[in-house]
Amino acid sequence: MEKIMDNKKWRNLIISVAFFILGWVMPEVGTITKDGMFALGCFVSLIYAMSAGVEAWYVIFALLIFGIKKSLSITSTVFPAVFGNYILWFIILSFWYMGGVAKTGFLDYITRKFLSIKVTRKGPYWLMTTLLVSTFVAVALTQSILAVFFLMMAVLRGVQKTLDMKLNDPWIVATGVGIGFCCVTGSVFMPFNFSFFMYGGFMASTYGWVRNVNAGAYTIQQTVAAIVAIALIVAVTKLIIRPKSDFSRLTSIELTSEDNEIKFNKAMGMVVVTIIILVVVVGLPSLVPQTSWAFRFFSNTGITAAFAVSCALLMFVKNAKGERCLDFGKMLQENTNWTMIFYIGAIIYFGNFISEPDAGIMAQVAIWCGPLSNLSPFLLICILGLLANLLTNATNNMVVALLMAPIGYAVVGLDSPLSQALTVMVVVSSLTAVALPSSSTVGIMTHAQKDLFSPGRIMKYGYAFAVLCFIGQFLGLLITQGMY
């Protein structure tokens, strides 16, 4: 008789429950309240359970106990907040969209065109570098993070298929997580890009900091940071991770032979149309006046609706084999990872409680960081950037930025030129996160690529690469600190 749960699954379940109970019974620590400890225990418990592969029923269990403990209505408060979250529908629709795109043959077409470029066939790390640089440049120029991310995931998925790589192949994971970081760093490359402008605006309204960053210094710092980060990610993958993958086919496969030739067709053309829709919906609002009809229309439409429209369009086209590119029935029943959806919804929900002032967690972090005020301004800025880089994976990016900034402002002063450098370091570091689903939109979508890599590998590489990105920011600031 087959065992329902083997020893490993029992052990992972017991550890998950232990984190949950520990958060429940722990006393107050400093400013962290009992509610804060409980929310933190729930959050850590679900993070571990998801990475360990505990089944989705545990999410329901955690939410039920949390709701009862907090005297929240399970029916009208907890479940709607978790499963009615627009982010979950964004994930589901984008997941369906990627499935439809894959069935059109567009991924194979793009991959073969991409791999036909000579430099990508010199070796796996030339290919990796090309993928990372292409991602950074595309996002920097278009600000279309998600559109570029999905396109590069499509290319990576095609490489995995072409080279017959398995799930969790170290090279695939390192490249995929690296692509996520390049999407984030590319989005803040241009001076006064939308992300930095928005966060800087909150800094200004909250602390009185004036948004007069030296555009030249900012651009040089981000250029240095990107070059260093990409170089370090590739170097660490090659020299420390050391993938044992078989890349022999990368140089020997015939991509241009008649047998391998894939012709561009109507279904692939529809994919291009959907990419244009996604780019326009995401990018146009930041380019037009807020009083215009275009701003109101596309802002109200949003990325989730754009994916819904894209899915609908793919439903009406057939691939070269005569099959419908997207079948909603099959997607619902066979091709949607509902366990991952449940976990991400609950983790985001608990993450919001961690960020609340009543939890006292962020205030306690500020107290722990108090001794940092005795450091030199430059060293303080770097340490605050590193802390923001690590903390932002587990909680709201804006909360981390607003927490780290005043510690630095108290030392360097709001009127000091270094306040510009501090704001840049804190804001950019608060956005550079991929390791956990709670870290960023890119973090969520990276974790959604279940056919490429597992949550455990993403977290392992995500934190390591975050430090590499910080090193890039540090060297960039070292060069430009006198220019601010």
Show the DSSP H helices in 26-144 as ranges: 34-52, 57-69, 79-83, 86-104, 106-115, 124-142
Spatial distance between the Cα atoms of 387 and 102, rounded to a whole number of angstroms: 39
pTM of the predicted model over 0.75: no
Q: Are 316 and 269 in contact (CB under 8 A)?
A: no
CA 408, distance to chain mean position in Å, is 26
Sign of CA pseudo-dihedral 468, 473, 479, 482: negative
- For residue 193, the model assigns a pLDDT of 56
Burial of 218 (0-12, 13-18, 19+ CB in 10 A): buried
Question: What's the CA angle centered on 87, arms 426 and 317, to 5 degrees?
Answer: 125
- For residue 191, the model assigns a pLDDT of 60
Spatial distance between the Cα atoms of 440 and 457, rounded to a whole number of angstroms: 17
Burial of 454 (0-12, 13-18, 19+ CB in 10 A): middle
Domain range list for the chain:
1-84, 87-180+217-333
Q: Are 388 and 350 in contact (CB under 8 A)?
A: no
| Token code pair at residue 426 | 């804190």
The residues near 89 (Cβ < 8 Å, ≥ 6 apart) are: 304
Q: Are 438 and 393 in contact (CB under 8 A)?
A: yes
- For residue 206, the model assigns a pLDDT of 47
Instruction: Chunk the chain into consecutive blocks of 10 residues (it has 484) and report each block's average pLDDT, rounded to whole numbers.
Output: 63 90 90 89 87 86 91 90 81 80 76 69 86 86 75 83 82 93 86 56 49 73 94 95 82 51 83 84 75 85 84 90 86 81 84 78 74 79 88 73 73 74 85 80 83 86 92 92 80
- For residue 373, the model assigns a pLDDT of 67
